Structure 1
């Protein structure tokens, strides 16, 4: 029984951040040390990001009106980044994330000609950038008019890799019930937690993270004729023996606090081959190619979570991938930044829409997060 990922859809909020303009705002904040100013300049300039999206309309260059009230995150008149508390940030998350969950979920259903909202049996939502209850799984079911008995699950606070276990859970649900239709939706509003700081980890996070949503339908129902999809062949999860303190996500008094050390690319470089071994082990040709250092020849397409430019560089070098094989990941990083768990869904959609992806092509997907955790999947292009 083939379980497929269909109807891949993405959504972003309307406010665009131009990377060099954001850099200049962060560099001009009061209280920065000279070292912090140098780190800001370097982090933003080498990020390989040109644009990102944010749910915070205050970060645009549009002057506020009296009806808007006082600024909460950014005072355009003074150019100063403000420091709202976690409660204020999370209240915006509850409002703005709900809209993106519903938008992306509706788009995924609409993209599947043979599936209606009434067909959805399960909803799996993903996020690490906010909390509320009733949660996004409830809001999707309510606003999309899903069956009152739809089963709902939320994977929270797992980090950038979380869309992968969500897809794996969806596949398992479909294997247990061949009639299942699982709507998976990931929404991350990372920019709610950006702030001025002298801390290098916080500066790097401010140069990378963005807002976005990704969604798809996982089901054993065959795609409609002519519809492109991914057959979900298998998943694996591995944690590295070191690096637990190098990537973390904690709740602070002024938003969530990211730990993202400069050791992460080196850790991925050291352990990525070992993390792929269990995924490729079930298929002898793939296992042999990985051992021989020719994985890039055995698998046509690579959906690598673009956690940052240096991470993509390390993956490309260690696995001896061709430059073209990371074009989708680098394009998503350039145009959207790092949207945490939603990002790999953007990369998969980029691959599926590409003329380079033919029916029967194999795809390896990987995402990284706290632990250090490496989640991977093998897929096959269908249609």
Structure 2
């Protein structure tokens, strides 16, 4: 941007002296000034390119490994939990595709579990500091250069905030633009990306640090309501740190270019709004209620709304025409069709980094987007290995693609997340270089050769 300004200033200087020496008419002078001014405004008003310099996903230590046996032993120690509730949790563990080495905070692995604000704070600090430390090590960026900070955690929102924890720990500059998102569920990670993008458009030469996580200690449910027990069974400990930049000098060593972000919100519809809800159960025990039937319906409807808008930015022209023709046929010509034409998004993207969620959501995505097992493999393997890490899950999925050596220069990838509200958010990236897994360090690095594994037997 500074180069463009210098160029325009130099152009105006030479035009002025040329016109002065030639003694041309006032009209010619005004025309040249207008032309130069238009060029200046064009350069100034162009959207800044946003680069993803790098990202890091937190991998807890061996002490946090939570096998199914450990989980059930911990659940048994909850005095209020009935035998039928334990049986239900075992069926969920066996039927949702989670493996034997997902992670829980050490406070919940104690017998009995230790649940407190202090334990929740310790868990969150270990995740966000661990992820940021690794990111800073990978990027070599100084904390003094970070001008924007966005943190998100749906359930745990202490005072001071999570963003204040980051500022305090790393001694970030006093005028940093810091934001803390809460209550937005699994979709908040891409909402944070969208917010950072908007801020980077108006703050030149800046780095934006995004930290996405969830807190298991604060979300642990100790009752018998089945819709709330699901939350205990599928969510696991994790987090990610992402560094964005609008510096053109970072283009040569950044991983991805941000092409599009898109947010779809369906909270105006009653069923969507109530599909995921924090509330008290019949005994006034607080938990997160997950209605799988409503989530399945809400995700199908919300993703259709999201892709109908996203398609015009990413789909080939031929696919857009087919989709538009089907909409016109149904709405105006009253042609009998069950639903509009489903565009083939496989023509627009090489990689699909979809939220791990649960099998129900993965089935909806497979149907609506017409994906195959290869496209959903990163999401299924992430759910199996790390569980549902909420807003950070799409980054574990992208890390899987990198560790498998799938990312080539020019590849396009679609991150797609869902969350309470009900919300569906998209982020579209283009790879700026081929990612060599031998030179990368991420949570899959030491064990990627074990994947993929057959998880079909786990879905009962």
Give the TM-score normalised by structure 1: 0.84
CA drift of 1:173 comes to: 1.3
Write out per-residue CA displacement over residues 50-72 of structure 1, whole angstroms, 9 at most, x where no aligned residue: 13212234516xxxxxxxxxxxx
CA distance in 2, matches of 1:267, 1:339: 20
1:275 correspondence with 2:275: no
Match of 2:242 in 1: 216
- For residues 255 and 32 of structure 1, do their structure 2 counterparts lie closer, same or farther at Cα, with a shift above 3 Å needed? closer
Contact 1:306-1:312 at 8 Å conserved across structures: yes
Structure 2: stretches of 5+ with no match in the other structure: 1-47, 324-340, 434-460
Query: SS at 1:217's partner residue?
Result: strand
Conserved? CA contact 1:306–1:333, under 8 Å? yes
Deviation at 1:136, TM superposition (A): 2.0
User: Where does residue 259 of structure 1 map in the other structure?
Assistant: 289
3-state secondary structure, aligned to 2:209: strand
Aligned residue number for residue 248 of structure 1: 277
Moved more, 267-276 or 304-313: 267-276
Secondary structure at the aligned position of 1:206 is classed as helix
Check conservation: 1:122, 1:181, Cα contact below 8 A.
yes
Q: Is the 8 A contact 1:228 1:352 kept in 2?
A: no
Residue 124 of structure 1 and its aligned partner are, at CA, apart by: 0.8
Please say if residues 112 and 223 of structure 1, whose CA atoms lie closer than 8 Å, have aligned partners that are also in contact: no
Matched, 1:112 2:139: yes
1:93/1:41 Cα in 2 relative to 1: closer, same or farther (>3 Å)? Answer: closer
* 1:92 pairs with 2:142: no
Greater shift in the superposed pair: 255-264 or 118-127: 255-264
Change (3 A) 1:284 1:319: closer
The answer to which structure has the higher strand fraction is: 1
Who is 1:59 aligned against?
109
Deviations 1:129-185 (A, max 9, x none): 312222221221222232232221111121111011100111111111231100101
C-alpha distance 223-5 of structure 1, shift in aligned 2 (>3 A): farther
Alignment of 1:211-360 (within 5 A): 211-222=237-248, 227=253, 229-240=255-266, 241=269, 242-250=271-279, 257-263=287-293, 264-285=295-316, 288=320, 291-360=341-410
CA distance in 2, matches of 1:268, 1:163: 17
Which of 174, 180, 183 in structure 1 is aligned with 2:206?
180
Which residue of structure 1 lines up, in the alignment, with residue 68 of structure 2? 19
- Are the structure 2 counterparts of residues 136 and 239 from structure 1 closer, same or farther at C-alpha, using a change threshold of 3 Å? closer
| Matched residue count | 359
Matched residues in 2 for 1:196 and 1:256: separation?
8
| Alpha-carbon contact 2:105-2:216 (below 8 Å) kept | no
Q: Which moved more, 1:88-97 or 1:46-55?
A: 88-97
CA gap of 1:225–1:268, structure 2 versus 1, over 3 A, is closer
Alignment of 1:74-89 (within 5 A): 74-75=111-112, 88-89=115-116
How many angstroms apart in 1 are the aligned matches of 2:165 and 2:78?
38
Structure having the higher helix fraction is 2
Aligned to 2:159: 133
Paired with 1:167 and 1:251, the residues of 2 have a C-alpha distance of 32
SS of the residue 1:130 aligns to: coil
After superposition, the Cα gap between the structure-2 partners of 1:126 and 1:256, relative to the gap in structure 1 and judged at 3 Å, is farther
Describe the SS at the equivalent of 2:214. strand
The aligned residue for residue 65 of structure 1 is: none
* Farther-moved stretch of structure 1 (292-301 vs 157-166): 292-301
Whole-angstrom distance in 2 between the partners of 1:31 and 1:148? 47
The answer to whether the Cα contact below 8 Å between 2:221 and 2:287 also exists between their aligned partners in 1 is: no
- Root-mean-square deviation (Å): 2.7
Q: Which residue of 2 aligns with 1:71?
A: none
Give the Å deviation of 1:228.
5.3
Gaps of 5+ in 1: 61-73, 76-81
